[in-house]
Amino acid sequence: MQRVNKLSWVGSKKNFLDEISVMNVGEKVVLGRFGGNSTAGQYKNEDGCLIWCDENKDWEFVIILDAHCTAESAELVISTMEKNEHRFLDVFSFPVKELFASLNDLVLDIFQSESFIEECENVQGETACLFAFRKEKYLWWFSIGDCLLLLHHPELERLGEYHQNHRSFFEWVGKESTFNKEVPSYSMGVKELRTGENHIFMTTDGLVECPNTLYSDAKYIYRMFQDVDTNAVGVRKLLEDIQSKNVLDSTTVVSWVIQNDIDATIPSDGKNTVKR
């Protein structure tokens, strides 16, 4: 029996203006939303997200979106992925050795289909979108635009590694879609999780562009999760901080922690070969 926890949302339906929302999706995943401060001039929320997770089969699939002009492009991406749910669930059941290449192919097949490109031509505006999927000890992503995927683990922190993708500007899906071009622009990758506790964090750019904060440096994001009882408390602390700093832009974050008990790759000499 399929037991998949599902949530989809677009800011055009519920904008969370001047309002913080923090909720759990399944047992691990925490979704945080803040629509921005009306006192700073905000009047709409064009973020969106889709979250599917299956505790029994031990995977999480998350998409976050940051649209502009209108939320129509975010609505289109979410509805399109939901229409293809059975195709994604089929791929999620593959062995990891072949899963991630198949997942890349599926996303590209959807975005490059004639029907999707035609639908993009009929929306107003564009959206950045970031996909992430975790199964066993691997984290996969597919990134278009400037949303961020971060990973925290003490071994990575010691070497200054947090960012898994990078903010890439002038990439979108929608009216002016990168997939309308002869060669589309996007990035993708797979990361082996380290042994122990891995904290996965995704965010739209409202968080990192908030004035009078240091969240453009990922280590300050993770400091908010130190000495808190739960992941949800850390997410709320982040959103309360940017609310107090009178942030204009909306922020959507998804945060979850994975305990990996499988040995991760280390150098053959058993030592860290990176000099700091």
Return the beta strands (E) in 46-121 as ranges.
47-54, 59-68
> Can you give the pLDDT at residue 276?
46
Q: What is the pLDDT of residues 204-258, one digit of tens each?
A: 999 999 999 999 999 999 999 999 999 999 999 999 999 999 999 999 999 999 9
Q: What is the pLDDT of residues 62-101, one digit of tens each?
A: 999 999 999 999 999 999 999 999 999 999 999 999 999 9
pLDDT band at 269 (very low <50, low <70, confident <90, very high): confident
Beta bridge partners of 65: 48, 129
> Can you give the pLDDT at residue 3?
80
**Measured CA distances, 262 to 9, 133, 137, 153, 195 (Å):** 34, 18, 7, 14, 6
Alpha carbon distance 150, 147 (integer Å): 10
CA 157 to chain centre: 20
Location of structure tokens 């982040």: 238
Beta bridge partners of 31: 23, 254
pLDDT at 1 over 60: no
